[in-house]
Amino acid sequence: MKLSLGIDIGSSSTKAAALDEHGTLLGTLQVHADDPRTSAYGVLGRFLNQQGASFGDVEKIVLTGLGSTYFHENIFGIPTIHALELDAIGRGGLYLSGLDEALVVSLGTGSAFIRASKTNGFRHLGGSGVGGGTLVGMAERFLGVTDIFSLSKMALRGNKAMADLRIADVQEEDVPGLAADLTAANFGRIKSGASDADLAAALFNMIYENVGVMASLALSQDTTRNVVLTGSLASLAPAAKTFDIFNQMHDVFGIDYIIPPHPSSPRQSERFYVILCRRTKITDGSQQIKGCDQGASCEDKKVSQIKDDLFQVFTPDAEIIYHITAFEAVI
């Protein structure tokens, strides 16, 4: 077995992926460490052990991420190549989405905005300090929660309307083109009965909404109307809630926000797969299923747990109920 390994050494975690000689993805792994060299060597050893492979099976290693600058030599004698992080983000976003061009947003510790095109290359438009690092820091300070996956599950049980001031709260009549559930002020109306789950929902929403607005501004003078969201933060279930609200306002922004079916895996041995079913209540009170899109295939995976969460989003013309079923599948 001959492997090619890609290792992304980020500011808060290091991710690895392996391809066989035919270009087939064999698996992914993510570890957390403060030291780039320690995390890179750690993820390499653990990944090979997970795959039942040895150093002799690895033909090459491709490094990217800010931490890759700490490496100036081959790793364990294996040919080691450096890939520009911005190019890697752009190429990855286009590959995952199947698009020829898009604005690819990497939602990691911070956020990076890459204008990606298969014909014209990749251009860094800018970035933001708002991202997963913001989320984790504020959650630890205000909620005492340090695990982002526990925070994500908590947020799905919450109602951001208990903390945010929404368009519906400040307008007596509907605003054309604006969803009533869109935020007028993040944490602008924290109610006395707001729970930790409500605050977690509002916190996720604040991060995602800010990224969504910045993406729309980045494309205000552009011809492409696709935003591809990648990175660990994009793989969490609350992302679908917020960015679907943006997609409801397509007439305003003219932009499609896309979360590819295979964003970066959130855990070293587990992935979360989301099925999103959309039901719209029509005039006679019945419900019409408008679509049911499975976020990723669970084929050849052992499904260890199934969890159901229901939440409601109210729009001016309809009540839309999203039924999210998260499959926690062990690879």
Q: Where are the domains of the chain?
A: 3-83, 87-267
Residue 264 has pLDDT above 60, yes or no: no
Mean pLDDT rounded to a whole number for the chain: 77
The pTM for the full model equals 0.72
Say yes or no: do domains 3-83 and 87-267 share a fold. yes
Q: What is the pLDDT of residue 33?
A: 66
Please give the CATH superfamily to which domain 87-267 belongs: ATPase, nucleotide binding domain (3.30.420.40)
273-281: average pLDDT: 35
Q: What is the pLDDT of residue 45?
A: 86
Q: What is the pLDDT of residue 177?
A: 64
* Strand partners of residue 152: none
Q: What is the pLDDT of residue 137?
A: 94
Taking domain 3-83, whether its CATH number is 3.30.420.40 is answered by yes
The candidate with the shortest Cα–Cα distance to 4, out of 73, 36, 51, 42, is: 51
| Residues whose CB falls within 8 Å of the CB of residue 57, separated by 6 or more in sequence, listed in order | 1, 2, 3, 48
Q: What is the pLDDT of residue 314?
A: 28
Confidence of residue 281 (pLDDT cuts 50, 70, 90): very low
265-278: average pLDDT: 33
Tens of pLDDT, residue by residue over 99-137, are: 999 999 999 889 999 999 999 999 999 999 999 999 999
Cα 148 from Cα 204, distance rounded (Å): 10
Residue 308 has pLDDT above 70, yes or no: no
Tens of pLDDT, residue by residue over 53-71, are: 888 899 999 999 888 988 9
